Structure 1
């Protein structure tokens, strides 16, 4: 394994960029915030990354203590990657970076890939409370784990079990929320988000 490149600056920001500043690293963290992922799943949800680069970044993340690799027991019997506690500490970094990057988002370009679960982190910023929220968009479904203190903060696909609330909305509305142009409260009031469920969180969203 090649030695890690360094800015050789005695500065915490420079040291942080030594670890996470390479292309794709933070996006891999974004994917692993959903919990353990197989290499093939990571590659599918990181369109544009080569297999060599993805493998290299994962090795770097293991070396730097951001991620670990383990073998699932049967019947899964697959190797998965997951964040360490140190890696999960990058959640607020990604949240802040995403909030800062809203100004750069603009309109979706014809060449832009999109995955439903890429809206998970913006919605985590936008929805207050604790519980499991299932979200359905045209592109697919994902679920949020609001208030999770460790482990995954979201997951791809429907929620396991009964969620505290289900939200159905279109991608345009979700994008407006992500950009900060529309709050979840406003979207619910305007009928742009359908909220179902009997949990406290669903009732709070409907009563906003």
Structure 2
């Protein structure tokens, strides 16, 4: 007896709850902040252990010191990064992720895996 043709496999996406306008605005603000050029790279550099300004700068290819200063201030205002000043001679400054910043980096891990799987090289 001949086999019956099978329907093509379809991939379904599980429905998720509808988000309201306030949730959408909050999510958009976070995505816009980490989507700014260099922001996610800076967060990842700090998460990987870069603590001093020069270490972060060296960890992110193509990033200028001026832009690093601008982005660090934005990330501080968003309470993702904290700037710690040690009163030594000379003064020592280091940067760390806040608990909010660590949670964001963890939340970004699926995007990293997505990029490893699907993003084409440039």
Q: After superposition, give the CA deviation of every residue in 1:136-165 in whole Å (9 maximum; x if it has no partner).
A: xxxxxxxxxxxxxxxxxxxxxxxxxxxxxx
1:54 correspondence with 2:77? no
Check 1:35–1:77 CA distance in 2 against 1; reply closer, same or farther (3 A cut).
Answer: farther
- Partner residue in 2 for 1:90: 104
Q: Which has the higher contact order (CA 8 A, sep 6+)?
A: 2
Residue 64 and residue 74 in structure 1: after superposition, are their counterparts in 2 closer, same or farther (change >3 A)? same
Structure 1 residue 17 corresponds to structure 2 residue 69: no
The one of 31, 34, 55 equivalent to 1:41 is 55
Unpaired segments of 5 or more residues in structure 2? 1-20
Larger Rg over CA atoms: 2
**Contact 1:69–1:82 (8 Å) recurs in 2:** yes
Greater strand share, structure number:
1
Tell me how large the CA RMSD over aligned residues is: 2.3
Deviations 1:143-194 (A, max 9, x none): xxxxxxxxxxxxxxxxxxxxxxxxxxxxxxxxxxxxxxxxxxxxxxxxxxxx
Q: Give the alignment's TM-score, normalised by structure 1.
A: 0.42
Q: TM-score, normalised by structure 2?
A: 0.69
**Kept after mapping to 2: 8 A contact 1:35/1:83:** no
Q: Which runs of 5+ in 1 are unaligned?
A: 1-8, 110-208
